[in-house]
Amino acid sequence: MPLPTKEFPIELKGLIKTFGEQEVLRGVDLMVEPGKVTTIIGKSGTGKSVLLKCLSGLMHPDQGEVIYRGTNLTDPHNRDYLKDFHKGLSYMFQHNALFDSLTVLQNIALPLSEKTRLPRTTIQQRVEEMVDRLDLEQSILTKYPSQISGGMQKRVALARALITEPHIVLFDEPTTGLDPVRKNTVYEMMKRYQERFGFTLLMVSHDIPDVLCISDFIAILDRGKVRFYGTPESLKLTQPPFPPDANGETFGLTNPFKTKILAYLT
Amino acid sequence: MISNLGRNFLLAVRDLGSVATFGMSSLAISVTRDFSIHKVSDQIYQIGVKCVPLIALVGFFTGMVLGLQGYYTLVRFGSEGLLGSAIALSLVRELGPVLTAILVVGQAGSSMAAEIGVQRNSEQIDALETMDIDPKGFLVGPRILAALISFPILTTIFDILGIYGGYFTGVIVMNGDGGTFWNGVQVSLLWGDIWGGYVKAFFFGGLTTLICCFEGFFTHLKSSAFGARGVSQSATNAVVISSITILVSDYLITSFLL
């Protein structure tokens, strides 16, 4: 199968994932539009990160399909297709997952030095270019992740995710642990680079309403299912937007959460 | 009680199978698809070079103790001339490979398990998988290869310094005869003894490194401890299981070699 391109959507059909007796994903259906920013929001423990991990191949769903270019990637017979799919996919972890014993240069260069036969000088050149594009200083290349700030670590992790020029980038709560100013900087940066590079961006977050500003599509995951999918604007047209459940919560989302969304939209 | 015993035995067999599969696949990836001389040499530095001072110190003092004890024991029978032979044989055949392996496990093995455990907990291993880099080839294989090279060299250092330690106490301190000492070493040591010591060092290196890497790699699957405590338990288990494995396999290898 050719490597992922920007033209094709990723379709999730009836994904189920269970841990012991706890069913985390209970039949997730979702269409991730190509070249767009899709954000999955929802309370903690609703299976957002599990969904990303199922998509990235870090976890295998118990049931359901991940369809790309007409191929079901969860089918064990399509392992080669899945491998090719992953070559065009990058994952940015919640806590960056940078190698603390490697320098920033070695971290960013890792996917190229391990998976390609490019000469060292070419790899160094590409890393330096990427660092420039992400507005990082060249002087940090010789430093270790622990020697740079949290915001810089985020950008280094983003540089590592983008160095292979992926077509799909998955972000797992990219602003965890950052202050509100830095959060907005990271979101602004993600949107800017998504537009510049044109990749498909799928993000998990609960930063409401900040993520609504940069998202083309919103999916609300609650109790293992996608309860809403659409543009941020279409949230307003969903009337009544969120009927409360027996606990007075809306799709499992507390009222302040709903208020925040509505405050943003009105 | 019998059913518990049976269950534990089956679990032990399953774990043994998992360790063996883990080791073989790590080695296979490292020597074929993902071989990197740079990574192996880096690990030789971590496992081998960094342990040299410890091995040299303990080796020399072990030899000194052997020299002292051996001299006082042999002199009772008027056989102090056999001191060189006794020290050389006991070091090269047994003490050298066993003590070297236990010391390296204590220094490098525990840090290996802890390092990989931290990498597992901080999602660095997951990050490798998403980059399509096999974590076993990246983290485990080079360490096993480095251990297979480092352990015999470290054992040689231990043996040589141990013999010199024995010479120091047996000849210089106790006024023994130097010529008799070295003649005993030369005459008694056969190629089979040296070869046997290397076979042990080679096996100990592979087995202990495999156990330490396995403990760290699967630190997240421990049901008894999580997070930092899980990593600390992995490091402890790595040292304890490796030390037991060294002693048990030493007996097995010796019985095959003799």
Residue A212 has pLDDT above 70, yes or no: yes
Q: Look-up: residue for tokens 């997070």? A: B227
A89 to chain B: which residues are within 8 Å by CB?
130
Q: What is the pLDDT of residue A243?
A: 54
Q: What is the rounded average pLDDT of the residues A171-186?
A: 79
Q: What is the pLDDT of residue A262?
A: 59
Peptide bond into A209 cis (omega under 30): yes
Q: ipTM of this model?
A: 0.78
pLDDT digits (tens, 9 = 90+) for B36-62: 888 899 999 999 999 999 999 999 999
Quote the CA–CA distance of A200 and A34 in Å, as a whole number.
5
- Residues facing A66 on adjacent strands: A12
Among B99, B109, B93, B103, residue whose Cα is nearest residue B207:
B109
In whole numbers, what is the pLDDT of chain B averaged over residues? 90
Q: What is the pLDDT of residue A242?
A: 54
In whole numbers, what is the pLDDT of chain A averaged over residues? 82
pLDDT band at residue A258 using 50, 70 and 90 as cut-offs: low
Q: Residue B131 is nearest to which of A98, A101, A110, comparing CB atoms? A: A110
pLDDT digits (tens, 9 = 90+) for A97-141: 999 889 999 999 999 988 888 899 999 999 998 888 877 888 999
A83 to chain B: which residues are within 8 Å by CB?
132
Does residue B8 or residue A246 have the better pLDDT? B8
Residue A74 has pLDDT above 50, yes or no: yes
Q: What is the pLDDT of residue A162?
A: 86
Residue A3 has pLDDT above 50, yes or no: no
Q: What is the pLDDT of residue B86?
A: 92
Percentage, residues of chain B above pLDDT 70 = 98
Residue B200 has pLDDT above 90, yes or no: yes
Domain locations along chain B? 58-257
Asked if A93 and B126 come within 8 Å (Cβ–Cβ), the reply is: yes
Q: What is the pLDDT of residue A1?
A: 47
Can you give the three-state secondary structure of A144-212, one letter per residue?
CHHHCCHHHHHHHHHHHHHCCCCCEEEEECCCCCCCHHHHHHHHHHHHHHHHHHCCEEEEEECCCCHHH
pLDDT digits (tens, 9 = 90+) for A35-73: 899 999 887 778 888 888 888 888 888 988 888 888 888
Touching check for B227 and chain A: CB below 8 Å?
A: no
Q: Residue B124 is nearest to which of A87, A91, A97, comparing CB atoms? A: A97
